[in-house]
Homo-oligomer: A and B are copies of this chain.
Amino acid sequence: MKWITIKRHLRDSLRSLKRNGWMAFAAISGVAVTILLVGISLALVFNVTKLSHDVESDVRVHVLVEPKTTTKQKAKLETELNDLKGVTKVTYSSKANELKKVVSQYGDSFKMFGGDDNPLNDVYTIKATDPEETMAIAKKAAKLDHVAKANYGGDEAKKLFRTMDSVRNWGVGFSVLLLIVAIFLIANTIRITILSRRNEIEIMRLVGATRWYIRWPFILEGAWTGLLGAIVPLVIIDLGYANVFRAVGRQLASSGYSLMTPGQLIWPLNLTLVVVAMLIGAFGAAISMRRFLKV
């Protein structure tokens, strides 16, 4: 394509957008509202996914140390545990400490088992980098010297993993549905505006314009509609998310969970949605015109 042709297509597309007034405005606001919904939903789903991982990371491996293990042996064990693949953090809790937990849960009657009567074990608690590896770590830890038993909540944890997995699956499924719906809605909006301009297209053909010469300005106009439609909702989402992050972040702080930071979320989201909106606008226009450019 020659440079002058490209310039003309650009000019024609912008001019048409401007002169189509209400129609263009309606199309842009249709895109805007769709993008707003998609943006908010994706931000939600991304955070639910993140939180589900956070929850899973709360599952720890408890390594019970054999009674009568010496301090030196324990030190060696701790090093070995730290060296296991996928381990982030190892914390120690003496059996006295463990007893306190039992007492707080089952009542003071258990206090009588203090001191040497204490039937409990010293415990190392291991946090895994990736919750998926918890099980593997437990198995490896169990084989180390001086380890009585290594468990990670067993069925409870498996159930939690399953639940979080299905939360994520529903989230992904919902996002995909939403994206498909958004693509359809934006393309459909563009389609209706183009349907209403079939006469224009007809006239252009009658005065000798080739199909691509007619198509380009419409495709570009579709892309601008997508772009303009994406800007406002994305600004709203960006500002809104920064606020939500601050507010919810404070609430969550005590629990140890956290939302995605605005930095992590906003740029990928903005970039994706702008590009998607422009592409859908352009493709929507191209596809909608096929009918009129056939014969």
Chain A interface residues toward B at CB < 8 A: 22-23, 26-27, 29-30, 33-34, 36-37, 40-41, 44, 64, 102, 106-107, 109-110, 112, 119-121, 149, 159, 170, 174, 177-178, 181, 184-185, 188-189, 191-193, 195-196, 255, 291
Question: Do the beta carbons of B29 and A177 come within 8 Å of each other?
Answer: no
Question: Do the beta carbons of B40 and A185 come within 8 Å of each other?
Answer: no
Instruction: Kindly list chain B residues whose C-beta atoms are within 8 Å of the C-beta of A191.
Output: 26
Interface of A is mostly: helix
Known A23-B196, A26-B195; judge A36-B181 contact (CB<8 A). yes
Q: Which residue of B lies closest to A64 (CB)?
A: B107
Known A26-B195, A34-B181; 6 more pairs at CB < 8 Å = A29-B188, A30-B189, A37-B181, A41-B174, A102-B106, A192-B196
Question: Do the beta carbons of B109 and A26 come within 8 Å of each other?
Answer: no
Question: Do the beta carbons of A37 and B178 come within 8 Å of each other?
Answer: yes
Known A44-B174, A107-B149, A119-B112; judge A192-B27 contact (CB<8 A). yes
